[in-house]
Amino acid sequence: MKAYFVGAGCGTPRNLTNLAIEKLKNCDVVIYDDLIHPDILQLAERAIEFFRVGKRREKHYLEQSEINNLILKKFEEGKIVVRLKGGDPTLFGRLNEEIENLPSESYEVIPGISAHFCAFSDLKISQTQRKTSNGVYVLTGTDYLNKVPKLECVSDQKTIVFYMGISKANQIAKELLKYLPASTPVALIYYAGWYRKEVILTNIEKLSTEMYITEKPGIILIGDVLKNAFIPPRSKYQVFVFRLFPESYQLAREIEKEFHIDAFSLPLLKEEKIGFNASNLNSADWVVVTSPRAANILKIIWNCQFSNANLVAVGLSTKKTLEDLTDKLYVPKEKNSYGILDFLKENCEKNSKIVIFSNEDFNSKVLTEIKTIFQNFEFIPTYRTVENNVEGFHIYERLYNEDITNILIFGSGKFCEIFSKKFPLRDNDIPICWGRRCFEKFKEIFGYIPYTLNEPTKEALFEMIRSILSKR
């Protein structure tokens, strides 16, 4: 049994340390805060229990004593526990209270990037500067009595950072006016480290007369180092990827890297394998494989008795998965069920033994037409998709409903269906459908025509996103 206090950092999961990822991948229990990027929870594939213990202003899901007891309880059950904290566990994370009852050799602390480090990086300035600032004070906006702390320690030779202080920003400024010039620069930064970051530059005097009441997570920076601050553009878009895991997670990270916008993986469906009789493949002339998932299942049962079969791989990823099995490997021009139909018509004799190795949700219209043309045909569903409980769903809901345009990428018609039950489609949302069937289902549910990838590839998707961003 072991407990790991892991820093989730700020913004994209790409900011996680390798050690943090390693601990998440191998834990049994995750106890997590609300201000993390929710996709990080998907890295805990082995975990069997997740506990939400987030604290927002005046909203505590669990009290601190309850969190301490929960960590200890799961530890004593012999579980590998990850206590996942936004930023770094050692900075305003109540770490000393949470480790108090644990044997010192039984826990480790895994560092993360704190918000103010991300904030200074966003502003492209140093926290300290020769002749301007020879140190950094990191403070909370309120003391343990929920009052603005006394600030006798501050000076104009220091950079000052306030966490959890946005709601009391004007009171903090009034206190600072006792010790610092009224013109001292101030930056309020919401979502530091995220692409949706928002920066307000002001000074102490102006701040003392203004009220900032918001649910957005933010910090306050104060000091002359801010005079040369760069104001980063705020992204007007975010992307939600509705596909199966891990494809959804990987695609979200690639979108972040390519377009510098926040992206989220929402695998609202998951794979459920279906048993089948492999002997049906023995005499096949053509075996059609529709996805990398189906290809990986086929590889488990593949052997020399299938060596005479021609393999048809739908999509380049499926082709890559199957390349080491045979030289007789083909790819239809159109990478969907209609492309399969056209390929079989052009290349197969009517008496050929044809097997389609696919998801249970394969296009029923196309199946009926194939059966009409090829009498010696068999459809083998290898897996189905069922509803998936996505951990941290409340965080996705909050992010989805913020004042920002959502680009929604649907991997199938079934994802359109389940989305419609869980989210409102807003007027400014931009849906993109992954192929023709997805388009048809979206149109049926929502009554209008979405953007559609006729060529369902990552390259085509990126070109479409690039086009959307350039027009708006």
pLDDT digits (tens, 9 = 90+) for 119-153: 999 999 999 999 899 999 999 887 765 677 778 77
Q: Do residues 208 and 124 share a domain?
A: yes
Q: Do residues 129 and 196 share a domain?
A: yes
Work out how many domains the chain is built from and give that number: 4
Please give the share of the chain, as a percent, with pLDDT higher than 90: 70
| pLDDT at residue 199, rounded to an integer | 95
Q: Do residues 329 and 376 share a domain?
A: yes
Kindly report the pTM of this predicted structure.
0.91
Q: Is the pLDDT of residue 79 over 60?
A: yes
pLDDT digits (tens, 9 = 90+) for 214-271: 778 899 999 999 999 999 988 999 999 999 999 999 999 999 999 999 999 999 999 9
- Residue 246: cis peptide before it, omega within 30 degrees of 0: yes
Q: Do residues 103 and 122 share a domain?
A: no
Q: Is the pLDDT of residue 302 over 80?
A: no
| pLDDT at residue 145, rounded to an integer | 57
Q: Do residues 261 and 398 share a domain?
A: yes
> Are the beta carbons of 375 and 351 closer than 8 angstroms?
yes
Q: pLDDT band at 184, cuts 50/70/90?
A: very high
CATH assignment of the domain containing 50:
3.40.1010.10
| pLDDT at residue 230, rounded to an integer | 93
- For range 458-464, the mean pLDDT: 93
Q: Do residues 98 and 181 share a domain?
A: no
380 versus 213: the higher-pLDDT residue is 380
Q: Do residues 296 and 350 share a domain?
A: yes
Q: Do residues 164 and 56 share a domain?
A: no
CATH assignment of the domain containing 205:
3.30.950.10
Cα torsion angle, 175, 180, 182, 187, sign: negative
Q: Is the pLDDT of residue 60 over 70?
A: no
Report the DSSP beta bridge partners of residue 187. 201, 221
Q: Is the pLDDT of residue 305 over 90?
A: no
Exposure class string for 182-201: b at 16+ Cβ within 10 A, else e: eebbbbbbbbbbbbbbbbbb
164 versus 278: the higher-pLDDT residue is 164
Q: pLDDT band at 213, cuts 50/70/90?
A: low
| pLDDT at residue 185, rounded to an integer | 96
CATH assignment of the domain containing 397:
3.40.50.10090
If you average pLDDT over each of 2-6, 296-300, 309-313, which comes out highest? Answer: 2-6
Q: Which of 49-58, 364-373, 387-396 has the lowest mean pLDDT?
A: 49-58
Q: Which of 146-160, 264-278, 286-300, 429-443 has the lowest mean pLDDT?
A: 146-160
> Are the beta carbons of 298 and 318 closer than 8 angstroms?
no
pLDDT digits (tens, 9 = 90+) for 372-419: 999 899 999 989 999 999 999 999 999 999 999 999 999 999 999 999
Cα distances (Å, whole numbers) of residue 433 to 96, 243, 257, 343, 410: 48, 11, 21, 23, 5
What span, in angstroms and rounded, lies between the C-alpha atoms of 276 and 29? 34
Final residue in a domain of this structure, among 339, 354, 387: 387
Q: Do residues 197 and 305 share a domain?
A: no
Q: Do residues 98 and 166 share a domain?
A: no
Q: Which of 101-105, 148-152, 195-199, 237-241 has the lowest mean pLDDT?
A: 148-152
| pLDDT at residue 253, rounded to an integer | 97
Q: Do residues 53 and 85 share a domain?
A: yes
> Are the beta carbons of 424 and 406 closer than 8 angstroms?
no
Angle ∠(356,361,362) on CA atoms, nearest 5? 40
> Are the beta carbons of 447 and 436 closer than 8 angstroms?
no
Q: Do residues 261 and 397 share a domain?
A: yes
Indicate the average pLDDT of the chain: 91
| pLDDT at residue 304, rounded to an integer | 53
Final residue in a domain of this structure, among 63, 87, 113: 113
SS (H, E, C) the chain: CEEEEEECECCCHHHCCHHHHHHHHCCCEEEECCCCCHHHHHHCCCCCEEEECCEECCEECCCHHHHHHHHHHHHHCCCEEEEEECECCCCCCCHHHHCCCCCHHHEEEECCCCHHHHHHHHHCCCCCECCCECCEEEEECCCCCCCCCCCCCCCCCCEEEEECCHHHHHHHHHHHCCCCCCCCEEEEEECCCCCCCEEEEEEHHHHCCCCCCCCCCEEEEECHHHHHCCCCCCCCEEEEEECCCCHHHHHHHHHHHHHCCEEEECCCEEEEECCCCHHHHCCCCEEEECCHHHHHHHHHHCCHHHCCCEEEECCHHHHHHHCCCCCCEECCCCCCHHHHHHHHHHHCCCCCCEEEEEECCCCHHHHHHHHHHCCCEEEEEEEEEEECCCCCHHHHHHHHCCCCEEEEEECCHHHHHHHHHHCCCCCCCEEEECCHHHHHHHHHHHCCCCEECCCCCHHHHHHHHHHHHHHC
What's the token pair of residue 321? Answer: 């998965």
**Could you tell me which of 119, 144, 122 has the C-alpha nearest to residue 136?**
119
Report the DSSP beta bridge partners of residue 140. 163
Final residue in a domain of this structure, among 90, 113, 136: 113
Full residue range of the structural domain in which residue 381 is found = 271-387
Please give the share of the chain, as a percent, with pLDDT higher than 70: 96
Residue with tokens 């931009």: 430
Q: Is the pLDDT of residue 461 over 80?
A: yes
